[in-house]
Amino acid sequence: MPSRPTLRRQMLRRKPLHTFTTDADRAGGLRRTVGPFQLTMIGIGATIGTGIFFALGSAVPEAGPAVIVSFAVAAAAAALTALCYAELASAVPVSGSSYSYAYATLGEFAAWAVGWCLLLEYAVSGAAIAVSWGQYLNDLTLRLFDFRMPEAISSPPGAGGVINLPGVVLVGLCCLLLVRGAKESALVNTVMVLVKLGILALFIVVGATGFDAGNLQPFAPLGIAGVSTAAATVFFAFIGLDAVSTAGEEVRNPGRTLPVAIIGALLVVTTLYILVAVVGVGAQPWTAFEGQEAGLSAILGDITGARWPALLLSAGAVLSIVSVTLVVLYGQSRILYTMGRDGMLPSAFRRVSPRSGTPVFTTLLTGGFVALLAAVFPLDLLADLTSMGTLAAFTVVSVGVLILRRTAPGLDRGFRVPGYPVVPILSVLACGYLIYELPLDTYLLFGGWLMLALAVYLIYSRKNSRLQTAPDTTRDRSRV
């Protein structure tokens, strides 16, 4: 009988690249039904909403008008990482995103830890968005019917309420759509993203008429420290880049489509973020953002003095934020599906419905967890936790490019990072800097989450991994 691998070998074993494509193409897997335009819309849909419809209210009090620079800093860090994502996505076009990339480059435990970071990133982001959606829904009902839901059922504990019921309903509806199928979900998402882009264009055009340069003074009232803190806070708004790569097994011609969608989504999102930030802080004093709910709608109402622009923006926000929740739930369910297929989670996570071609159990479990977070956790804490998970995953992707270039130099890559190795190294440094700027309580919660990950790995995952009975993949480090 072969000797049992040591804990060290278990933690360092890597999944061979050829097994990724074998797993992806085997019968009973996910269906390739998503094209390049729809995939780009998934990236935009997962991103715009978190950073604009909510993050200004949280980030402007931290940086003042210099939040414009904060968005630019976060976008620069995201751009460096996006190039790294594009290369790995073209070389390893499978579900699982940076979890799969880490499994191919850093080893099993690193992949497991990254997977847990991604679960935190997606679940907490989805919950934060659901909380924000409830704010805009309340704003819409107030403008239409002069009615607001009671705080007890529309806000989580710590924010004046008992339970955030609208967030729970939103997550439930998105789960039902995802269970129907990836193609149907992508189509609905595309429609909602187009509505969202139109609404933000309306805000930029109308909001610019109320621009007052005096509102930009003082530009950085809280100094460089405030700009850095806000950049770390809004970084979670770029989660859409990772969401694109979770669709690797449901995309036609993934080697070409994935890089195009990642870079295209980044360009659109960054442009809109900065334009909306400039118009927003120019239209009202930066101190007015503190505690302001449905901020973009309120700004339009103050500028025009009319009901229809603010009413239209609130209605558009209610509809378009649905797309963010939809894609976040989609991304998390695909990561759990991939981890289940690798044996890191129980077999129920890898089951795919023969009717819809979707992991129904995984989707419903994901929705239940996100709904619970949305119901009881306050918004600001959720945002910082999402940033931590996102930055950790982005760092691993950048390191993965460096490793894979050395271990598999001849691997077919549909896209190569320009300026290698400078760009991946800068990406690691930028992510590390933003992690450093996060508050202490975020570190403590994140550390507790990783300790839980270690416990589950030691008790279950290392013993049930599909690599447990596979040949040792850690000896030959000349190839992956």
Per-residue pLDDT reduced to its tens digit, 258-310: 888 888 888 888 888 889 889 988 888 888 887 666 567 778 777 877 777 77
pTM over 0.85: no
Q: Does pLDDT of 72 surpass 80?
A: yes
Q: What pLDDT score does 470 carry? A: 60
Query: Among 84-98, 146-160, 199-213, where is mean pLDDT lowest?
Result: 146-160
Asked whether residue 82 carries a pLDDT value surpassing 70, the answer given is yes
Average pLDDT for 352-370? 84
Q: How far is CA 39 from the centre of its chain?
A: 14
* 8 A C-beta contact, residue 31 and residue 356: no
pLDDT the model gives residue 460: 93
pLDDT-based confidence at residue 379 (cuts at 50, 70, 90): low
Looking at residue 456, its pLDDT comes to 93
User: Which pLDDT tens digit goes with each residue over 103-144?
Assistant: 888 889 989 988 888 887 778 777 777 777 777 787 788 878
Residue 422 has pLDDT above 90, yes or no: yes
* Tokens coding 418: 């320009």
- State how far the Cα of 465 lies from the Cα of 7, in Å rounded to an integer: 13
pLDDT for 14 beyond 80: yes
What is the Rg, in whole angstroms, of the alpha carbon atoms belonging to the chain? 22
The answer to whether residue 459 scores a pLDDT higher than 90 is yes
The amino acid at 37: F
Model pLDDT, residue 53: 60
Question: What six digits make up the tokens of 388?
Answer: 């931590």
122 and 99 in contact (C-beta within 8 Å)?
no
Token code pair at residue 456: 């589950």
Give the model's confidence band at 475: pLDDT under 50 very low, under 70 low, under 90 confident, else very high: very low
> Which one-letter amino acid corresponds to residue 36?
P
CB half-sphere exposure, 65, CA atoms < 13 A: 18
> Helices (H), strands (E): how many in the chain?
20, 0
The 10 Å Cβ neighbour count of residue 410 is 6
Cα separation, 193 vs 242, in Å, equals 17
Quick check: 468 and 342 in contact, CB under 8 A?
Answer: no
- pLDDT at position 477 over 60: no
Q: What pLDDT does 112 receive?
A: 92
CB atoms inside a 10 Å sphere around CB 14: 23
CA 343 to chain centre: 24
For residue 163, the 8-state DSSP code is -
pLDDT exceeds cutoff 70 at 479: no
Give pLDDT tens digits for 153-203: 776 666 666 777 888 888 888 888 888 876 777 788 888 888 888 888 888
What is the per-residue pLDDT for 166? Answer: 83
% of the chain surpassing 90 pLDDT: 7
Mapping DSSP to helix (H, G, I), strand (E, B) and coil, where does residue 377 land? coil
Mean pLDDT of the chain: 80
pLDDT at 474 over 60: no
